[in-house]
């Protein structure tokens, strides 16, 4: 029964490991308060991979720092909740927040060289959390460190725990980062651009490793990336962010076959690849500065399907199809590959928040 | 050839019929000595570039791809005269420019300019844009017609920037705009060749395309030739006419873009191509997760009746045949260029070699059999146990052509094995 009620709210019945609802984060800057994340919601389920895609400044990294309780002092969460196993982390003190995360959510950062401490051995860093939290003895910690390195397939783990980060190659360092994150057996792993600094052949190794570990442990994985190729290769669900907001959310396949937001569509078109010779279709302009957000839809100055309503009204979170969200006034049109009507769409989809598939869609 | 060229005539004579080549590299070697111990004795060398030959035709783009450490950036630096080669020749317009004096190298830079990777560090933050773009004029003591100021304005316009912004400083521009400033600076002396070292890899996807289009427009407008160094194979495929693949300081495969991408002949190239994530969810690195606990969220519905949906014109739907991402996953990292493997530099990571009958020749089919089954190819835990054909370990394969395309060369002893099955890749 409760499942049914859930369904009416268009949420899945499976209990998510991590659920972020309407998250907003602001930064104090010399130019005033700037909103970096604005109303982001997502859920992470066991064994599934959620990819958060966006360009730099889209808020994808800031939102995960907020989840982890790692925001810098200049930032503040102004709205929303982050529920982890029934508790809203944002209601906890910072210390409790981090403690809860430490046990259940772990993070892998992009730049493993910067994230690892150069003056400690890899083995020391791998088990720092275990020693601090679980009070492991040095001998046990050493043993566990070797196990962890084995887990991420670092060859010759026994010898390598005694080495320092600079003695590892980029790919091996990223494996160490992943091992460090796995030390506490997290339920959810948040990986922020884990392979961006790596060569493609090594990237493939690391992605494959992450997927294997995830499947084995039935972990929820949040993969933050700008690479739509990586997303297509590993994600189950996708959240596309632009200017601090989620503009499209859907399972992976429809995002690529029938994108429901003009930004997603334009991004996909702008990827240089195979068949493409001649001019690349590009998105004109650049992402807005969070200090000077345009009125209405934040994407409207760059959108190829812009209408008057886009310049004035912030688009609602529309549901152009079950399980999909698009923050576009013309989501259904975009998804169906139609040009939005010159002005007609204003009344059709701007009314009443999320309209499930505008009823009278009179197409053929 | 009756190409009359004033200087360096003796070199011109032995040139093959490359009437259209603006840049030619012959057997280029760049080694950096590694010194160790108290006396700084030379203890070997980093063989960053180890015998590279290339030809860049006028008005064309040669893409140079490879992983980090493959020597592609070093090669680029040698070409613009930032580094002096250990041996070999670089011919610009048929004239050998290696071994030139300082002044001679300065002269070289009028013809060959560089666009750098990082638009944040390659522009001096304390100089205004007009100073940055106008600096080449000052260095080379050139007074452009109409004055420096006007010339800078023209250059800015050429790269799509507002000349009125000439007095701004780099931090006032976005990444894409800064890269345009870098390109304007490179164009100031009207060079023939632009060496672009990862010019878009620091930019956001949506901005990358703008810069790539700009480079293509400039090429058409000014007849420029590009050496385009990048690790992003998609970008290179788009912009390059010809492609060279580097591994550990050597070129392992080279040819027209369509041939290299469409019918790679070297196992390394095939592995690289297969590792590139493609924006097509039907080509999965990992099987989509089967969800038991959430029967929900109608997972992947065909959202609308497909017949009503006009396929979006992303190229992802072209159903182009490819081996599939991660079809070949290489083991380990590239070896150190200080001590590259003997024979074929790729043999320690090669996925093909251990599967060849020649590999099992002596050591009677030990247990390699089972390893072929998995898509990842041979999974060999310890490199010491790898069996590869002895020729791979002992002889450096030459860059040779096989099959119909004469411009398409690969350095693999067993390229023939690949020509057939790999052709569809």
Q: Locate tokens 């003895």: which residue?
A: A137
Instruction: Identify whether the C-beta of residue A361 lies closer than 8 Å to the C-beta of residue A332.
Output: yes
Instruction: Identify whether the C-beta of residue A149 lies closer than 8 Å to the C-beta of residue A179.
Output: yes
Q: What gap in Å lies between CA A322 and CA A313, rounded to an integer?
A: 24
Residue range A58-106, pLDDT digits in tens: 999 899 999 999 999 999 999 999 999 888 999 999 889 988 888 899 9
Burial of A295 (0-12, 13-18, 19+ CB in 10 A): exposed
Q: List the single residue in B216, B278, B318 with the smallest CB-CB distance to A232.
A: B278
Percent of the residues in chain B that have a pLDDT greater than 70, as a whole number = 76
**Over residues B23-51, mean pLDDT:** 86
Q: List the single residue in A48, A230, A268 with the smallest CB-CB distance to B316.
A: A268
Instruction: Identify whether the C-beta of residue A108 lies closer than 8 Å to the C-beta of residue A189.
Output: yes
Set of chain A residues whose Cβ sits within 8 Å of the Cβ of B210: 282, 284
Instruction: Identify whether the C-beta of residue B413 lies closer than 8 Å to the C-beta of residue B421.
Output: no
Task: Judge whether residue B312 has pLDDT over 60.
Answer: no
Q: Locate tokens 């100031």: which residue?
A: B188
Set of chain B residues whose Cβ sits within 8 Å of the Cβ of A255: 281
The answer for residues whose C-beta is within 8 angstroms of residue A86's C-beta and 6 or more apart is: none
Q: Is residue B185 part of a domain?
A: yes
Print the domain residue range for B417. Answer: 263-285+321-425
Could you tell me the two tokens for A357?
A: 């598939």
Q: What gap in Å lies between CA A231 and CA A269, rounded to an integer?
A: 15
Quick check: B205 and A12 CB within 8 A?
Answer: no
Set of chain A residues whose Cβ sits within 8 Å of the Cβ of B233: 200
**Total count of domains within chain B:** 2
Among residues B180, B205, B240, the one where a domain terminates is B240
Set of chain A residues whose Cβ sits within 8 Å of the Cβ of B301: 251, 254, 321-323
Q: What is the crossing angle of helices A60-68 and A94-104, to 10°?
A: 100
Backbone φ, ψ for residue B235 (5° rounding)? -65, -45
- Over chain B, what is the mean pLDDT? 79
Which class would CATH give A11-242? alpha beta
Q: Locate tokens 């996807």: which residue?
A: B205
Q: List the single residue in A55, A321, A335 with the smallest CB-CB distance to B205.
A: A55
Same domain, B279 and B200: no
By C-alpha distance, the chain B residue nearest A213 is: B286
Same domain, B168 and B90: yes
Quick check: A48 and B329 CB within 8 A?
Answer: no
Q: List the single residue in A155, A208, A323 with the smallest CB-CB distance to B285.
A: A208
Residue A176's closest CA among A127, A224, A132, A219? Answer: A127
Q: How many CB atoms lie within 10 A of CB B166?
A: 20
Same domain, B199 and B276: no
Q: Is residue B421 part of a domain?
A: yes
* E strand or H helix that includes residue B26: strand B21-36
Predicted TM-score (pTM) of this structure? 0.80
Q: What is the pLDDT of residue B329?
A: 78
Q: List the single residue in A207, A230, A337 with the smallest CB-CB distance to B310.
A: A337
**Over residues B15-27, mean pLDDT:** 74
Mutate to test the interface with A, among B162, B175, B297, B300 (most CBs of A within 10 A): B297
Residue B346's closest CA among B359, B332, B334? Answer: B334
Residue range A45-57, pLDDT digits in tens: 999 999 999 988 8
Task: Judge whether residue B205 has pLDDT over 60.
Answer: yes
Give the Å distances, CA to CA, from B343 to B250, B280, B337, B398: 12, 38, 14, 11
Same domain, B149 and B62: yes
Could you tell me the two tokens for A364?
A: 């053929």
Set of chain A residues whose Cβ sits within 8 Å of the Cβ of B337: none
Residue A112's closest CA among A30, A170, A188? Answer: A170
Q: Locate tokens 């590959």: which residue?
A: A337
Q: What is the pLDDT of residue B420?
A: 46
Same domain, B274 and B342: yes
More confident residue, A339 or B404: A339
Task: Judge whether residue A274 has pLDDT over 80.
Answer: no
B99-109 burial code (b ≥16 CB/10 A, e <16): ebeeeebeebb
Going by DSSP bridges, is the β-strand pair B21-36/B87-92 parallel, antiparallel, or unpaired?
Answer: antiparallel
Same domain, B45 and B188: yes
By C-alpha distance, the chain B residue nearest A199 is: B67
Residue B68's closest CA among B52, B48, B40, B53? Answer: B48
- Over chain A, what is the mean pLDDT? 85
Band of pLDDT at residue A11, cut at 50, 70 and 90: very low
Domain of residue B59, CATH code: 3.40.50.300
Interface list for B 381-400 with A (CB within 8 A): 381-382
Q: What gap in Å lies between CA B298 and CA A10, rounded to an integer?
A: 10
> Hey, is B273 helix, strand or coil?
helix
Alpha-carbon distance A94 to nearest alpha carbon in chain B (angstroms): 32
Q: What is the pLDDT of residue B54?
A: 93
Alpha-carbon distance B215 to nearest alpha carbon in chain A (angstroms): 11
Set of chain B residues whose Cβ sits within 8 Å of the Cβ of A363: 308
Task: Judge whether residue B422 has pLDDT over 80.
Answer: no
Residue A50's closest CA among A19, A77, A79? Answer: A19
Q: Is residue B342 part of a domain?
A: yes
The answer for residues whose C-beta is within 8 angstroms of residue A341's C-beta and 6 or more apart is: A333
Residue B249's closest CA among B21, B15, B28, B97? Answer: B28
Residue B224's closest CA among B192, B185, B186? Answer: B192
Q: What is the pLDDT of residue B285?
A: 62
Task: Judge whether residue B423 has pLDDT over 80.
Answer: no
Backbone φ, ψ for residue B404 (5° rounding)? -75, -40
Q: What is the pLDDT of residue A14?
A: 64
Alpha-carbon distance B8 to nearest alpha carbon in chain A (angstroms): 38
Comparing A123-132, B9-18, B124-133, the range with the smallest average pLDDT is B9-18
Instruction: Identify whether the C-beta of residue B411 lies closer than 8 Å to the C-beta of residue B397.
Output: yes
**Over residues A111-125, mean pLDDT:** 87
Same domain, B225 and B183: yes
Q: List the single residue in B278, B288, B293 with the smallest CB-CB distance to A46.
A: B293
Model-level ipTM above the cut of 0.85 = no
Instruction: Identify whether the C-beta of residue B67 lies closer than 8 Å to the C-beta of residue B4.
Output: no
Residue range A189-246, pLDDT digits in tens: 999 999 888 888 888 888 989 998 998 999 999 999 999 989 998 999 999 999 999 9
Q: Is residue B295 part of a domain?
A: no
Domain with CATH 3.40.50.300 in chain A: 11-242
Same domain, B268 and B406: yes
Comparing A258-272, B20-34, B98-112, the range with the smallest average pLDDT is B98-112
Alpha-carbon distance B310 to nearest alpha carbon in chain A (angstroms): 5
Burial of A121 (0-12, 13-18, 19+ CB in 10 A): middle
Quick check: A208 and B326 CB within 8 A?
Answer: yes
Q: List the single residue in A200, A232, A272 with the smallest CB-CB distance to B238.
A: A272
Q: Is residue B36 part of a domain?
A: yes
Q: What is the pLDDT of residue A13?
A: 46
Q: What gap in Å lies between CA B289 and CA A215, rounded to an integer?
A: 8
Q: What gap in Å lies between CA B65 and CA B229, rounded to an integer?
A: 6
Same domain, B56 and B109: yes
Residue A346's closest CA among A319, A317, A315, A320? Answer: A315
By C-alpha distance, the chain A residue nearest B307 is: A336
Burial of B379 (0-12, 13-18, 19+ CB in 10 A): middle
Same domain, B270 and B147: no
Quick check: A48 and B308 CB within 8 A?
Answer: no
What is the 3-class SS of chain A, one letter each residue? CHHHHHHHCCCCCCCCCEEEEEEEEEEEECCEEEEEEEEEEEEECCCCEEEEECCCCCCHHHHHHHHHCCCCCCEEEEEEEEEECCEEHHHCCHHHHHHHHHHHEEEECCCHHHHCCCCCCHHHHHCHHHHHHHCCCHHHHHHHHHHHHHHCCCCCHHHHCCCCHHHCCHHHHHHHHHHHHHCCCCCEEEEECCCCCCCHHHHHHHHHHHHHHHHHHCCEEEEEECCHHHHHHHCCEEEEEECCEEEEEEEHHHHHHCCCCHHHHHHHHCCCCCCCCCCCCCCCCCCCCCCCCCCCCCCHHHCCCCCHHHHHCCCCCEECCCCCEECCCCHHHHHCCCCCCCCCHHHHHHCCCCCECCCCCCCC
Q: Is residue B314 part of a domain?
A: no
């Amino acid at each position: 029964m409760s499942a049914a009620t859930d369904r009416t709210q268009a949420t899945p019945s499976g209990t998510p490991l991590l659920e972020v609802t309407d998250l907003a984060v602001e930064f104090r800057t010399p130019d005033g308060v700037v909103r970096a994340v604005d109303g982001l919601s997502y859920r992470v389920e066991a064994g599934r991979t959620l990819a958060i895609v966006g360009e730099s400044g889209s808020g994808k990294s800031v939102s995960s720092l907020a989840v982890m309780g790692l925001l810098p002092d200049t930032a503040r969460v102004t709205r929303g909740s982050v529920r982890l196993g029934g508790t809203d982390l944002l209601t906890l003190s910072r210390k409790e927040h981090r403690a809860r995360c430490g046990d259940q959510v772990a993070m892998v950062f992009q730049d493993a060289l910067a994230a690892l401490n150069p003056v400690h051995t890899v083995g020391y860093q791998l088990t720092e959390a275990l020693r601090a939290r679980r009070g492991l003895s040095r001998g046990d910690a050493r043993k566990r460190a070797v196990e962890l390195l084995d887990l991420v397939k670092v060859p010759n783990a026994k010898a390598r725990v005694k080495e320092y980060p600079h003695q590892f190659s980029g790919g091996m360092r990223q494996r160490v980062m992943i091992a460090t994150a796995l030390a506490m057996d997290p339920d959810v792993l948040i990986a922020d651009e884990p392979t961006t600094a790596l060569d493609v052949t090594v990237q493939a190794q690391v992605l494959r490793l992450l997927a294997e570990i995830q499947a084995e442990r039935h972990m929820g994985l949040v993969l933050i990336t700008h690479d739509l190729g990586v997303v297509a290769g590993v994600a189950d669900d996708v959240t596309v962010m632009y200017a601090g907001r989620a503009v499209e959310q859907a399972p992976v396949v429809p995002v690529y076959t029938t994108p429901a937001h003009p930004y997603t569509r334009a991004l996909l078109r702008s990827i240089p690849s195979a068949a493409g010779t001649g001019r690349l279709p590009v998105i004109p302009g650049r992402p807005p500065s969070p200090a000077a957000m345009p009125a209405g839809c934040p994407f409207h100055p760059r959108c190829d399907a812009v209408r008057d309503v886009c310049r004035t009204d912030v688009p609602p979170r529309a549901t152009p199809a079950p399980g999909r969200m698009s923050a576009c006034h013309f989501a259904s049109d975009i998804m169906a590959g139609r040009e939005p009507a010159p002005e007609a769409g204003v009344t059709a989809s701007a009314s009443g928040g999320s309209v499930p598939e505008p009823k009278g869609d009179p197409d053929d | 050839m009756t190409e009359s060229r004033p200087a360096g005539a003796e070199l011109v004579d032995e040139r093959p019929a490359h009437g259209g080549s603006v840049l030619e590299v012959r057997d280029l070697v760049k080694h950096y000595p590694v010194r160790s111990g108290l006396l700084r004795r030379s203890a070997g060398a980093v063989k960053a570039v180890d015998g590279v030959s290339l030809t860049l035709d006028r008005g064309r783009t040669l893409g140079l791809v490879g992983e980090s450490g493959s020597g592609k950036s070093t090669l680029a630096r040698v070409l613009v005269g930032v580094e002096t080669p250990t041996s070999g020749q670089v011919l610009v317009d048929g004239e050998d420019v290696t071994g030139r004096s300082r002044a001679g190298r300065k002269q070289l830079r009028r013809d060959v300019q560089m666009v750098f990777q990082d638009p944040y560090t390659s522009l001096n933050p304390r100089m205004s844009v007009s100073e940055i773009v106008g600096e080449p004029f000052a260095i080379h003591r050139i007074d452009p017609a109409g004055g420096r100021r006007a010339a800078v304005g023209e250059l800015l316009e050429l790269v799509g920037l507002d000349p009125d912004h000439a007095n701004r400083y780099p931090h006032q521009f976005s990444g894409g705009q800064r890269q345009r400033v870098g390109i304007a600076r490179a164009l100031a002396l009207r060079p023939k060749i632009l060496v672009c070292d990862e010019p878009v890899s620091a930019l956001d996807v949506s901005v990358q395309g703008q810069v790539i289009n700009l480079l293509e427009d400039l090429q058409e407008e000014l007849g420029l030739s590009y050496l385009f160094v990048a690790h992003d194979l998609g970008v290179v495929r788009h912009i390059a006419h010809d492609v060279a693949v580097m591994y550990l300081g050597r070129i392992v495969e080279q040819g027209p873009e369509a041939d290299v991408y469409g019918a790679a002949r070297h196992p390394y190239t095939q592995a690289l191509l297969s590792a590139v994530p493609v924006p097509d969810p039907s080509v999965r690195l990992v099987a989509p997760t089967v969800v038991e606990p959430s029967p929900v969220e109608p997972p992947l519905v065909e959202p609308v009746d497909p017949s009503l949906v006009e396929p979006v014109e992303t190229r992802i739907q072209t159903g182009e045949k490819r081996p599939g991402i991660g079809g070949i996953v290489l083991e380990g990292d590239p070896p150190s260029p200080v001590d590259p493997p003997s024979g074929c530099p790729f043999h320690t990571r090669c996925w093909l070699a251990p599967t060849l009958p020649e590999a099992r020749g002596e050591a009677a089919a030990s247990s390699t059999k089972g390893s072929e089954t998995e898509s990842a190819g041979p999974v060999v835990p310890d490199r010491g146990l790898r069996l590869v054909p002895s020729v791979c370990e002992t002889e450096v394969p030459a860059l040779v052509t096989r099959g119909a395309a004469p411009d398409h060369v690969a350095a693999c002893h067993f390229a023939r094995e690949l020509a057939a099955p790999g052709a569809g890749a």
